[in-house]
A and B are shown apart, each in its own frame.
Chain A
Amino acid sequence: MKAKVYVTLKPSVLDPQGKAIKHSVELLGYAAVSDIRQGKYFEIALEGQLSATQAREEAVRMARDVLSNPIIEDFRVEIEE
């Protein structure tokens, strides 16, 4: 079982890296890009006989306690069986 965790900056938090990337993309001529936000992606391999629900609970706990900082970031979890 695999848990996929996406960590993104909260919409209210400035993302200077995303802005710099957007600037570069624009220089390449991608005129339709209105915004780019950079985030983090984690793939967590889970062992044992976990149900999808248990796996999700584990991943959510890890995302909340370690992978993200709730003051500045949001996260989303996907479970792949």
Chain B
Amino acid sequence: MKFGVIVFPGSNCDHDAYHVISKHVGQPVDFIWHRETDLRGYDAVIIPGGFSYGDYLRAGALARFSPVMNSVRDFAARGNLVLGICNGFQILCEAGLLPGALIRNRGLHFICDYVNVRVESVDTPFTNELKSGSVLSMPIAHAEGNFVCDDGTLDELRGENRIVFRYCDRNGQLTDDANPNGSRDNIAGICNRERNIMGLMPHPERACEDLLGSSDGRDVFRSLAGTLAAAA
């Protein structure tokens, strides 16, 4: 199994993702520059966090037009796994690969903090080794993480069990106080209808070592690797 981490000008969590795949998952991984278009040979692609194109126009708006994104679209359409973290989530929404949009945090500030999220769906290749309803501690670092969508989209996300993570308090309660950015329905992460594309604002790749504050993110990558191993 082989992983790719896409690098845009302004990506800054690419090395974290690379580190987790190579050291913790123990699988081969390449950086893929955004001008490349050939994703043959990869089984999963990670779109990492950062500030692609300086967040100009809207977060993720310009990265969507990078050559690699057409390949990511085809890659996903063939059923391969795509994980977008933070800016990667914003890019996937701008590209229309995930529904909704991420706008300015309701409190306006850039938030860099640990948050709790509840695992809402284990029926994805990214969460199938997690326990439904369990609470994970992961860091967030964003100014535009406020998830918005129309009523119809929200009904669809709920009805199809596509809300993967929700912000919660330490006891797993979905309170407004536990919602750091104003996201609709406390949404922290969603997947597409086919369940092979997931985007989330928290950073599981920065929560893989106890020394750094939390290792709760590891199971996301374990699930991903387990899914690929089972399919191989």
A interface residues (Cβ-Cβ under 8 A, vs B): 9, 13-14, 16-17, 20, 66-67, 69, 71-72
Closest chain A residue to B109 by CB distance? Answer: A16
Are B61 and A69 within 8 A (Cβ)?
A: yes
- Please, could you name 19 A-B residue pairs with CB atoms under 8 Å apart, sorted by A? A9-B103, A13-B148, A14-B106, A14-B146, A14-B148, A14-B182, A16-B107, A16-B108, A16-B182, A17-B104, A66-B57, A67-B57, A69-B58, A69-B94, A71-B100, A71-B101, A71-B148, A72-B103, A72-B148
- The answer to whether B149 has its CB under 8 Å from any CB of chain A is yes
Interface of B, secondary structure class, is loop
Q: Within B127-152, which residues are at the interface with A (CB < 8 Å)?
A: 146, 148-150
Taking residues whose C-beta sits less than 8 angstroms from the other chain, chain B's interface range is: 20 to 34
Cβ distance A25 to chain B, nearest Cβ, rounded Å? 16
Residues of A within 8 A of B104 (CB): 16-17
**Contact partner, A14, options B99, B100, B103, Cβ 8 Å:** B103
Residues of B within 8 A of A9 (CB): 103
Q: Within B74-118, which residues are at the interface with A (CB < 8 Å)?
A: 93-94, 99-101, 103-108
Interface of A, secondary structure class, is mixed
Whether A71 contacts B61 in the complex (CB less than 8 A), given A13-B103, A14-B103, A17-B104, comes out as no
Closest chain A residue to B60 by CB distance? Answer: A69
**Contact partner, A20, options B61, B94, B101, B108, Cβ 8 Å:** B108
